Structure 1
């Protein structure tokens, strides 16, 4: 491969980059210093309003001195500079590396404006480390695709223009330009996973396979292309399988998908709903339960703050439902009433009920004759026949006048309940909690 210089690569990348102010994530290390220096000497970057942003993690005794060094470098380059101090959660359970990354990204998000482009100095060797880490975690094509050169993140862009350059090219540039950078001693701590790969594993691989980092980065490009194709197909499959209620999925159709699509569709569905994504063993357990559980069973797989439940032809996704208080009951005069299961009950338009009604949840044995119906029905059977999932039935508010059941949420009204609504010239509206969005059927 012909040698590419850092300035030439950045000049080409800037010529096709979407409009937006460029903000360099400047740690003070050699890589980010080289990136900032090269961009500061590029007219295209200057005209965009180049600036630098430093995050002080407070994890090292010299962190304040490093922040001061970064400020001095930015001033010498005549680049606008800001430094943000963050508190890193040391006992979060996911490791100090992950905690520092989360704190850093939160600081960036707070400082950037919509449309800003955050320039990150990750290079080809960083990409190789990322691919190995993902491989060791059992990642699929999405993870093995490593870091994207450009991606949107919370209304800003993350730009990694150096992914095709090895670390050595950046160090050569820094030395040729007499740059002085911060050396973080924690980078030598091989108890940290990435440092271990960088110091112990990749050098050994390079001894046997000199182009190991380049090959891993090349494989990441292939995996990224495959992941993008799978994502496109997953979006099409999700559109076919998702129910009118977006929290539902046709589970038989999902099981019939090719292996490459099944996991991707599930994760895409959950991401769109703002729910947690499962580990691979949760997906395997879900597949097993859906294939093996008898038709009258109610399979359920739980992980993090998410539950996946099957009922009839649909798979439902939801956060865990709150526990209902025993024998809860409230007076209701028509104004919005917050419900302990989530959501609320109200009249639309708002009206005042002269003699307040009682609202409670099921206690067993309730019966109602739906307005216009010929027979009084047991509520349990009525809800079952109309397809309300079992875990939702206990969370539907019942509207009563003494012992008389007038309404079941806004699903059913008795003749008396319908008459009351006509008198009030209003209708009952039940805004269900997040686990109860489905109506009849």
Structure 2
């Protein structure tokens, strides 16, 4: 995929009509304008009003005016993106945003829109990988963000993943297209902002091709994860779903971990930390008597023993 806005959209082939997640910032503005130019009358916009800052209303007003000028229908979704105790503010906002975008596509425009484009770019991909490295993530984290995936009957796209952030802003300047700056982007309290302001310029100076090489590494990690998922699916066919403990015990520890990760992710959208998974594996190994109990916190729930199998139960507070 070419590393320019024009080239990226030229090679982008989603199903139409297409929705674009539109915040009003530089990246989503470039994406929306480029798509609207390529597919006149076939593009819709979704703006998520997070309500987290005083400027949120003006963001919505800007997006509405821009969409009127482009002739693009706009759907606005208002969400409560405040984070729960112990939850990352960025993670809370991200979850709220994806839920709002999903609801918009399912409920707006007669449900005819099944594809949506997001504006993450090459710098966002690098930031995601650096965050994953800082947290000791495994292959799923190092694979960073996929360019395309499906969830809830919707196909999600990131057509700008090979385009550097500065190239997007230069394209907007050349095209004389206005956008809004989110003041939180300059807030050093957010880890991503510190990476963007401090690490990316240093990487640019030391390794000018870092975006391309990071992207290759992410691709290698994603490919390796696909192989592990294939093995995990085969192992889960043997253990059953939910997994039978005795069948799990016939697998090597590494394959048990691999199968359990996929089971939790696929069936319950849960992810175990390294410590939680290690404890769970220890408990599975020790589970040799009928009375052995297992109950381990994982994500927003618990993995526990239920008869001869493992089961997952959501925390009561997570269902509210």
TM-score by length of structure 2 reads: 0.87
Look up the match of 2:119.
121
Instruction: Rate the CA distance shift 1:280–1:73 in 2: closer, same or farther, 3 A.
Output: same
In the alignment, the residues of structure 2 paired with residue 226 and residue 256 of structure 1 have an alpha-carbon distance, to the nearest angstrom, of 20
Between the aligned partners of 1:201 and 1:174, the Cα distance in structure 2 is: 24
Instruction: Give how far 1:288 is off.
Output: 2.3
Q: Is 1:27 aligned to 2:26, yes or no?
A: no
CA distance in 2, matches of 1:321, 1:80: 39
Q: 1:147 to 1:272 in 2, by over 3 A?
A: closer
Partner of 2:10: 11
Q: Which residue of 2 aligns with 1:282?
A: 276
The structure carrying a bigger helix percent of its residues is: 2
Tell me the distance in 1 between the aligned counterparts of 2:269 and 2:168.
40
What CA deviation, in whole Å up to 9, does each residue of 1:163-221 have, x standing for no partner?
11111221121011001110111101111111111112222233222222332222111
Quote the residue 2:66 is aligned against: 73
Moved more, 82-91 or 155-164: 82-91
Q: Identify the match of residue 211 of structure 1 among 205, 209, 212.
A: 209
Higher normalized strand content (fraction of residues): 1
Could you tell me how far 1:273 is from its partner in structure 2?
4.1
Find the aligned partners of 1:129 and 1:211 in 2 and give their Cα distance.
15
Partner of 1:181, secondary structure, is coil
Note closer, same or farther for the CA distance 1:85–1:293 as it changes in structure 2 (3 Å cut): closer
CA contact (8 A) 2:302 2:315 kept: no
CA 1:210–1:229 in 2, change beyond 3 Å: closer, same or farther? same
Measured after TM superposition, the shift of residue 310 of structure 1 is 8.0
Q: Does 1:265 align with 2:264?
A: no
Distance 1:294 1:151, change over 3 A: closer
Q: Decide whether the 8 Å contact of 1:248 with 1:315 is kept in 2.
A: yes
Larger RCO, structures 1/2 (Cα 8 Å, 6+ apart) = 2
CA apart distance, 1:29 = 0.7
Q: Select 2:313's aligned residue among 315, 319, 322.
A: 319
Q: Deviations over 1:359-413 (max 9, x none)?
A: xxxxxxxxxxxxxxxxxxxxxxxxxxxxxxxxxxxxxxxxxxxxxxxxxxxxxxx
Equivalent residues of 1:276, 1:306 under 8 A apart = no
Within the alignment, does 1:142 sit opposite 2:143 as a pair? no
The alpha carbon displacement at 1:299 in A equals 4.6
Q: Give the unaligned 5+ runs of structure 1.
A: 323-441
What are the residue-to-residue correspondences of 1:317-356 with 2, within 5 Å?
317-319=311-313
* Closer/same/farther in 2, CA of residues 59 and 222 from structure 1, 3 Å limit: same
Q: What TM-score does the superposition give when structure 1 sets the normalisation length?
A: 0.65
List gaps (5 residues or longer) in structure 2: none
State how far apart, in whole Å, the 1-side matches of 2:186 and 2:204 are.
19
Aligned equivalents of 1:164, 1:35: Cα separation in 2: 13
8 A Cα contact 2:249 2:284, kept in partner:
no
After the TM superposition, which residues 111-190 of structure 1 pair with which residues of structure 2 at under 5 Å, given as runs?
111-113=104-106, 116-190=114-188
CA distance in 2, matches of 1:180, 1:20: 26
Aligned CA RMSD, in angstroms, stands at: 2.5
Q: How does 1:377-392 map to 2 (within 5 A)?
A: none
Which of 51, 55, 63 does residue 58 from structure 1 map onto? 51
Contact 1:23 1:52 in 2 (8 A): yes
Distance 2:94 2:140 in 1: 20
| Aligned 8 A contact 1:255 1:287 in 2 | no
Partner of 1:86: 79
